[in-house]
């Protein structure tokens, strides 16, 4: 540009920050490979559940959950803190999530982004006063690539730990390819002291459907997602485990009725299990949502049903 | 005179069972396998109807009920508008606004 920029107050300061489309073609992280398809599957629950979510400020949110069921009866308290450093539309860092129950068992996650490219995540879980699991993930997001390293349950005293490396790259506009290497080191529990599993991932995206799969020596996991209309989506998932010689195929759909504020998710699979979750917002102005869930196993002829109310 | 043969005393069930001798073995076998096949088809149909209906109750019924309710409400609103504003008002809005 041949214009002479004035040396005093820069005119750019008057413009609002432009949305950065550096990450427009980013494939996302490896863990989110099957996200679109898995979001359709219902999360069936049993018993009664009451959840109250309240935002105490624009950064801080708390959630109280009371659940009464034959599996677990108890109270859980959860908090979410979202920091003020904004890196994109809807993405602010640091993010801290924590969840405790009545006896003090806690699980916590801390996410932070450093600069434009690096993300760090800490996750920990305590059970009865002792740390049950802890993992650290560092991820670098380039323009087209995502590389991550996860170290889990590193126990230097007993010499055990898990390390996972992820790579996911956008190869063409529609095709993403990636790989994952899981390395486990444990002198006591693994014969030989160490083992590793390498798997490859591929995802093909079109505006209407997405096919994603991971292949490894221990199994194939493939997901197909189809968006029929704005309100109707289908998903098919195939999961196989060569070591245990079993495979499951699950079919699911999600249907919404926007006028009635209804979201219905249902699934059925080759283990003769049928499940569905039906959520309805009871009033357009008041924040009450009713959720009913049903799970039926035809082989065992057993059903589990749940009802929940979400406030806020 | 030759002595009468001993009169064979049979119960009613034995007499009925004896009637099957009038059919050849192949007919008897075919009837027997058809009837058992019929019973197993009946049992399979019972199970299939149960599986299909309970699966539909869980996977489809709540959505269909809510869809019917929403459609009824929309139809009622359209009917009310038609009564107030005339028959053209019930049609979906056409043209830019």
Q: Which CATH number fits domain A25-311: 1.10.579.10, 3.30.70.250, 1.10.10.10, 2.40.160.10?
A: 2.40.160.10
Asked whether residue B17 is domain-assigned, the answer is no
Asked whether residue B19 is domain-assigned, the answer is no
Query: What range defines the domain where residue B52 resides?
Result: 24-86
Asked whether residue B28 is domain-assigned, the answer is yes
Which A-chain residues 281-300 have CB contacts (< 8 A) with chain B?
292, 294, 296, 298
- Which of the residue ranges A17-21, A228-232, A279-283 would you say has the lowest mean pLDDT? A17-21
Q: List the single residue in B51, B70, B73 with the smallest CB-CB distance to A298.
A: B51
Q: Where are the domains of chain A?
A: 25-311
Whether the bond into A88 is cis, omega within 30 of 0: no
Asked whether residue B32 is domain-assigned, the answer is yes
- Helices B61-85 & B25-59 angle (0-180, nearest 10): 60
Helix (H) or strand (E) holding B36: helix B25-59
Asked whether residue B12 is domain-assigned, the answer is no
Q: How confident is the model at residue A156 (pLDDT cuts 50, 70, 90)?
A: confident
Over residues A194-223, the pLDDT tens digits come to 899 999 999 999 999 999 999 999 999 999
> What is chain A's mean pLDDT, rounded?
90
Asked whether residue B1 is domain-assigned, the answer is no
- The answer to whether B62 contacts A264, with C-beta atoms less than 8 Å apart, is yes
- The answer to whether A274 contacts B74, with C-beta atoms less than 8 Å apart, is no
Asked whether residue B58 is domain-assigned, the answer is yes
Give the total number of structural domains in chain B: 1
Asked whether residue B11 is domain-assigned, the answer is no
Over residues B60-76, the pLDDT tens digits come to 999 999 999 999 999 99
Q: Which residue of B has its CA nearest to A269?
A: B55
Q: List the single residue in A268, A272, A292 with the smallest CB-CB distance to B59.
A: A268
Alpha carbon of residue B53 to chain centroid: 11
Q: Choose the mutation target among B54, B62, B75 for the interface with A, i.e. most A CBs under 10 Å.
A: B62
Please determine, for residue B48, whether its predicted confidence score (pLDDT) is greater than 90. yes
CB A140 within 8 A of CB A20: no
CB A30 within 8 A of CB A137: no
């Amino acid at each position: 540009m041949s214009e002479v920029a004035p040396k005093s107050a820069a005119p750019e300061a008057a413009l609002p920050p432009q949305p950065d489309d550096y990450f427009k073609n980013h494939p996302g992280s490896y863990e989110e490979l099957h996200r679109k398809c898995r979001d359709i599957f219902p999360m069936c629950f049993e018993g009664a559940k009451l959840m109250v979510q309240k935002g105490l400020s624009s950064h801080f949110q708390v959630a109280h959950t009371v659940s009464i069921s034959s599996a677990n009866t108890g109270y859980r308290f959860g908090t979410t803190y979202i920091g003020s450093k904004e890196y994109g539309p809807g993405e602010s860092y640091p993010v801290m999530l924590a969840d405790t129950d009545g006896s003090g068992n806690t699980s916590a996650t801390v996410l932070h982004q450093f600069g434009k490219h690096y993300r760090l995540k800490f996750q920990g879980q305590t059970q009865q006063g002792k740390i049950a699991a802890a993992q650290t993930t560092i991820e670098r997001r380039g323009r087209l690539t995502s590389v991550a390293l996860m170290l889990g349950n590193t126990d230097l005293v007993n010499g055990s730990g898990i390390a996972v490396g992820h790579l996911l790259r956008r190869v063409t506009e529609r095709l993403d390819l990636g790989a994952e290497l899981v390395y486990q080191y444990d002198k006591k529990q693994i014969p030989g002291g160490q083992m590793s599993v390498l798997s490859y991932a591929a995802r093909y995206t079109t505006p209407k459907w997405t096919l994603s799969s991971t292949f490894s020596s221990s199994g194939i996991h493939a997901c197909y997602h189809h968006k029929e209309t704005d309100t109707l989506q289908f998903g098919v998932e195939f999961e196989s485990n060569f070591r245990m010689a079993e495979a499951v195929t699950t079919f699911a759909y999600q249907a919404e009725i926007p006028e009635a504020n209804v979201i219905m998710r249902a699934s059925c699979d080759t283990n003769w299990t049928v499940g569905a979750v039906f959520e309805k917002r009871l009033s357009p102005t008041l924040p009450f949502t009713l959720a009913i869930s049903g799970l039926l196993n035809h082989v065992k002829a057993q059903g589990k049903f749940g009802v929940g109310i979400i406030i806020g | 005179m030759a002595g009468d043969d001993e009169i064979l005393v049979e119960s009613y069930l034995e007499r009925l069972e004896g009637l099957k001798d009038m059919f050849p073995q192949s007919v008897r076998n075919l009837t027997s396998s058809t009837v058992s096949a019929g019973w197993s088809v009946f049992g399979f149909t019972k199970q299939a109807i149960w599986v299909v209906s309970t699966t539909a109750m869980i996977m489809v019924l709540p959505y269909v009920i809510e869809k019917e309710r929403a459609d009824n409400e929309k139809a009622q609103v359209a009917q009310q508008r038609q009564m107030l504003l005339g028959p053209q008002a019930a049609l979906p809005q056409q043209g830019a606004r």
